Structure 1
Amino acid sequence: MRRKKLLIGASVIALAAAGVAVALAPLAAEPEREKDCGDVLPPLPGEAARPAKPEPAWAQKGGSVNDASCLSRTPVAGIVSPHSEKEVADTLAYARAAGLTVSPAGVRHSMGGHAFRRGGIMLDMRHMNRIELNPESSTVTVGGGATWHDIQKAIHPRFAVKAMQSTDIFTVGGSISVNAHGMDHQAGALMGSIRSLRVMLADGRALTVSPEENADLFHLIVGGYGLFGVILSAELQVVPNDIYESGRELVAMKDLPARLAKIIADPNVGLMYTHLSTAPGSLLDEALIYTYRHTNEAGMTRAPLGEVGSVKMRRLTVNLAKKGPVFQSLKWWSEKNLEHRFETCTVTRAQAMHDAEACLVSRNDPMHDSVPYLRNHLKNDTDILHEYFIPRDRLIPFVNGLREIVRGQDANLLNASVRVVGKEDNFLTYAPQPAYSVVLYFNQRTDADGNPRMQRLTSALIDLAKAQGGRFFLPYQLHYTPEQLEASYPQIRGFFAEKRKWDPAGMFRNTWYERYAPALG
């Protein structure tokens, strides 16, 4: 009898274990295809295209496109994927004759239809990805469709990117169109590392623009969301691929501004970023500061750039955190206590390292992350980015308000980080003064209730940022009103007026422009 009970017990345990494995499998599964959650973008009046010859070489004729939100399914005239400047010019000529609009696009990680428009041509620039390193001038000339991932591989191990986004999946043209920033607080946003751009205007003219040449247009194209021209190529500054000693420290949120101020003033810190707790018990009350300090490079060897490992385990951790407070707490506990023990040290000394020695990495390593673990196979589920630029002396009041809103609206906050942003002087600047960037990563259901809840959350956070003298980033969902846009960006009417001056026929358009230009133009 006892043996029989043991056998039954063992069978029950085995079945339970199998059930857990089955339940967890979708959380770690690879996505089967690009996720499509429908279309929540505002409707636009349709345009009947007039026939024109010759037609471009369509990569896709008709059909629909979407973006990283998976919520922006939009019917288009088609997709053209040019391989040369001539093919771009031919596509624009066809669009002018056919009365179609054109939207330059990269990997489409903007989340509000910024890379396409209903009934228009989406110009997929990813085949214009030539990369040419110029060691003598410490520059790299790249096509607008080149990704930071490929640029890093092309210039490693001698050189590193000066300024780029914190992950490497984006195209150069897309990053320039939003004036992206990243981990290097000394380099500033991408605008500061651009030597020159080659762009094509709506009439088919190709121009060189830079801080010195055609400077007015340069300041409009950087952070101009593809509305002034097609970015054909860019000449960017590169820097030595320095070796850093990685470090991390846990601080209370109340002490974070003072600690960050000291790190910013330290010239030996080359890269930095901060993660805030998303665990319910310490929500936004704790911060982990990650730093990369210059170190002596004598006798050291840089390893080839590797790809991110443990993808399924990372995906499982992120997706479990969507399931409730226990897993959210476990995720933060793991980051505080476990993750650093598995850090990959990519730089080796000529002599053997001792166990107590710090982990060394090259500059390229922390930014060489294509975040494959954020892609998933989950149904009725998407993840949404927000970003807010807060004056440095108002960070604590903003975070206190953020905590209250997240708890009050029961928002599913998966990740929160802080980065350092300097003053940016492009036309549609998000940082008219030095600021901290607060980046938020929310999980959203795609059912009938999910989008209205995200809209309420977004509106509340935009108002909070404005009350603290800050601004919100524009590449994300279109959940803000024209009045909120103008309150945060008082230069928006001038921006739209410049758009009409440089593109009087309105060839370059996207869903974002169609949503706000009629109200504010």
Structure 2
Amino acid sequence: MKISPLKFCILFLFLLSACHPNKPNTPLNVVNDVTQLNPIKVSKIITPTSNTEIALAIKTHQGPISIGGGRFSQGGQTATENALQIDMRKFNRVISFSKADKEITVQPGIRWRELIQYIDKYNLSVRVMQTYANFTVGGSLSVNVHGRYVGQGPIISSVKSFKIILADGALINASRNENMDIFYATIGGYGGVGVITEVTLLLTDNEKVERKDSVMKLSGYSKFFVSKIRNQSHVVFHNADIYPNDFSEVRAVSYVKTNKALTITERIKPNTGNYAVNRFAVKVASGSDFGKWIRKKIFDPIHYHTEIVEWRNYEATYDVAELEPKSRKNSTYVLQEYFIPVEHFDAFTPKMIKILKNNKVNVLNISIRHANKDEGSYLAWAKTEVFAFVIYYKQDVSTAAKAAVKKWTRDLINAALAEQGSYYLPYQINATTEQFNKVYPNASQFFKIKQKYDPEYKFRNKLFDAYYHQDKQK
């Protein structure tokens, strides 16, 4: 069996330490997310497989209703106390498909990997999705995800239409031309308007891509992106990783269209579930400054030395399990994300770095992405063309640690606001009401639409518990 130099290096270190994740024991009717920081006791959990079941549950349940998928949001955005939890993961069929029109209609509980497996047979690919393929399509719409796709923006741009069941049990269609207010309130609306039951997505061609990378100073990245990546139609994927703890260098990684022979012949990443080596690499990087040095000076140079030519769909099927730690009992890995106008890149980065250093945040990685302006969702995070700063960090689970995170999170939000930027809502709910309203000025319009279609405030979760005041919408 052939093994890459990177995997050999990591495997040697791996033999010094076991790294098998322990699945948490979840009490009955307790909903949690991947961080295990937000256990929420609900009244009941149902897993519907038909529109009739969903409509009946909505019409007959007395009390709050919350909607969940893969549960990768990290602040309680899929549940609230004593709610009826609608678990959509078994609502996961392909409804229809057109190769000629490059369209597919699916139920929202389908995971992206399953969708890609279906369309790969026709050499098609998704236009926009997040890096990892474990998420459900409905969950991705609800948070209006983005990915590493160059020339794209939030996922709303690839959604043709959807069907949704409202608070009164009615099933309606929504698109840019039909029920527009529901269309733009539901995408990025965190399940506040109703339950999505079908989604029609626009697809694109699957193509061979070649990996390219270069290391540079952070101060030079913005100019590099504008001159080498932006508006370059041959670049499919791109991101740049800022190396902690000095945060002075980045590795820019692109996947460009190519006619070269494949170096990876599989069309989709194998779904083996064996990610021990990857997990150990993350463990090493999170354990100490020396571990971060090993990643920067040893792991990454070996990894990126190898030539890679693969299918676009292969690059779109990462499994988030590769990041899962051995345990989340005492500490956990968490994400935050900030969106900064392209022209404010150089002004924001030193502010961000200073806050992270002053608060001794155990940052594993900061990934820089790019997104075009949102076309009109009410809770739009990309009000203009932006760079996204995805901060992946490790924190303890103690009360004191949570309080510390809240403090520096609010500092980062203020730094983003100072540069006309925003923060992303799927993560820990630490922003003040004032910060939320400043970053999302159209939230008042969104809440009015929610009040219109959900007058009894059925659809709830911790995000709305924090910022939605029903009495003010009347």
* TM-score using structure 2 length: 0.91
**Cross-structure match for 1:69:** 35
**Inter-partner Cα distance in structure 2 for 1:400 and 1:301:** 39
**Inter-partner Cα distance in structure 2 for 1:431 and 1:495:** 16
Give runs of aligned pairs for residues 15-414 of structure 1, distance below 5 A: 24-25=17-18, 28-31=19-22, 33-34=23-24, 63-95=29-61, 99-131=62-94, 132-157=96-121, 158-262=123-227, 263-278=229-244, 280=245, 283-296=246-259, 303-307=266-270, 311-341=275-305, 358-378=307-327, 379-414=329-364
Aligned residue type for 2:79: F
**Secondary structure of 1:449 counterpart:** helix
C-alpha spacing 1:504/1:258, structure 2 compared with 1 (3 Å): same
**Cross-structure match for 1:430:** 381
C-alpha spacing 1:78/1:421, structure 2 compared with 1 (3 Å): same
C-alpha spacing 1:220/1:467, structure 2 compared with 1 (3 Å): same
**Secondary structure of 1:413 counterpart:** strand
C-alpha spacing 1:207/1:391, structure 2 compared with 1 (3 Å): same
**Inter-partner Cα distance in structure 2 for 1:115 and 1:299:** 40
* Higher normalized contact order (CA 8 Å, seq sep 6+, divided by chain length): 2
**Cross-structure match for 1:488:** 439
Residue 262 of structure 2 contacts residue 309 of structure 2 at CA under 8 Å; is this kept in 1? no
C-alpha spacing 1:156/1:402, structure 2 compared with 1 (3 Å): same
* Displacement of 1:35: 6.9
C-alpha spacing 1:301/1:332, structure 2 compared with 1 (3 Å): closer
**Inter-partner Cα distance in structure 1 for 2:65 and 2:205:** 38
Residue 261 of structure 2 contacts residue 309 of structure 2 at CA under 8 Å; is this kept in 1? no
Superimposed CA distance per residue, residues 388-416 of structure 1 (whole angstroms, 9 cap, x where no aligned partner): 00010111221111111111111000111
**Inter-partner Cα distance in structure 2 for 1:301 and 1:455:** 43
- Alignment identity in percent? 27
**Cross-structure match for 2:393:** 442
Aligned residue type for 1:29: H
C-alpha spacing 1:332/1:301, structure 2 compared with 1 (3 Å): closer
Residue 273 of structure 1 contacts residue 418 of structure 1 at CA under 8 Å; is this kept in 2? yes
C-alpha spacing 1:299/1:497, structure 2 compared with 1 (3 Å): closer
Residue 263 of structure 2 contacts residue 308 of structure 2 at CA under 8 Å; is this kept in 1? no
* Displacement of 1:267: 1.6
Larger mean CA deviation between 396-405 and 428-437 belongs to 396-405
Instruction: State which structure, 1 or 2, has the greater radius of gyration over its C-alpha atoms.
Output: 1
Residue 185 of structure 1 contacts residue 272 of structure 1 at CA under 8 Å; is this kept in 2? yes
Q: Does 1:514 align with 2:465?
A: yes
Superimposed CA distance per residue, residues 446-476 of structure 1 (whole angstroms, 9 cap, x where no aligned partner): 1232111111121111111111110000111
**Secondary structure of 1:463 counterpart:** helix
* Displacement of 1:335: 4.6
**Inter-partner Cα distance in structure 2 for 1:414 and 1:109:** 19
* Displacement of 1:377: 2.4
Superimposed CA distance per residue, residues 109-151 of structure 1 (whole angstroms, 9 cap, x where no aligned partner): 1111110110111100011111243212111111110011111
**Secondary structure of 2:100 counterpart:** helix
Aligned residue type for 2:17: L
Aligned residue type for 1:359: I
C-alpha spacing 1:308/1:337, structure 2 compared with 1 (3 Å): farther
Superimposed CA distance per residue, residues 291-322 of structure 1 (whole angstroms, 9 cap, x where no aligned partner): 11112379999633132776111111111222
**Inter-partner Cα distance in structure 2 for 1:464 and 1:256:** 20
Residue 429 of structure 2 contacts residue 463 of structure 2 at CA under 8 Å; is this kept in 1? yes
Aligned residue type for 2:369: R
**Cross-structure match for 1:452:** 403
Aligned match for 1:465, one of 416, 423, 441? 416
C-alpha spacing 1:300/1:256, structure 2 compared with 1 (3 Å): closer
C-alpha spacing 1:21/1:396, structure 2 compared with 1 (3 Å): closer
**Inter-partner Cα distance in structure 1 for 2:225 and 2:71:** 32
* Displacement of 1:101: 1.3
Aligned residue type for 1:340: Y
Residue 187 of structure 1 contacts residue 193 of structure 1 at CA under 8 Å; is this kept in 2? no
**Inter-partner Cα distance in structure 2 for 1:85 and 1:484:** 38
Residue 73 of structure 2 contacts residue 426 of structure 2 at CA under 8 Å; is this kept in 1? yes
* Displacement of 1:34: 3.5
* Displacement of 1:75: 1.1
**Inter-partner Cα distance in structure 1 for 2:334 and 2:323:** 11
**Secondary structure of 1:231 counterpart:** strand
**Secondary structure of 1:89 counterpart:** helix
Residue 35 of structure 1 contacts residue 70 of structure 1 at CA under 8 Å; is this kept in 2? no
C-alpha spacing 1:221/1:381, structure 2 compared with 1 (3 Å): same
Residue 307 of structure 1 contacts residue 369 of structure 1 at CA under 8 Å; is this kept in 2? no
**Secondary structure of 1:339 counterpart:** helix
C-alpha spacing 1:302/1:507, structure 2 compared with 1 (3 Å): same
* Displacement of 1:63: 3.0
**Inter-partner Cα distance in structure 1 for 2:316 and 2:109:** 18
Specify every segment of 5 or more residues in structure 2 that has no aligned partner in the other structure, as ranges.
1-12
C-alpha spacing 1:162/1:136, structure 2 compared with 1 (3 Å): same
* TM-score using structure 1 length: 0.83
**Inter-partner Cα distance in structure 2 for 1:406 and 1:187:** 29
Larger mean CA deviation between 296-305 and 463-472 belongs to 296-305
C-alpha spacing 1:445/1:300, structure 2 compared with 1 (3 Å): closer
**Inter-partner Cα distance in structure 1 for 2:179 and 2:426:** 25
Superimposed CA distance per residue, residues 306-363 of structure 1 (whole angstroms, 9 cap, x where no aligned partner): 3277611111111122221111111222354111245xxxxxxxxxxxxxxx531111
Residue 29 of structure 2 contacts residue 45 of structure 2 at CA under 8 Å; is this kept in 1? no
Residue 85 of structure 1 contacts residue 232 of structure 1 at CA under 8 Å; is this kept in 2? yes
**Inter-partner Cα distance in structure 2 for 1:201 and 1:221:** 11
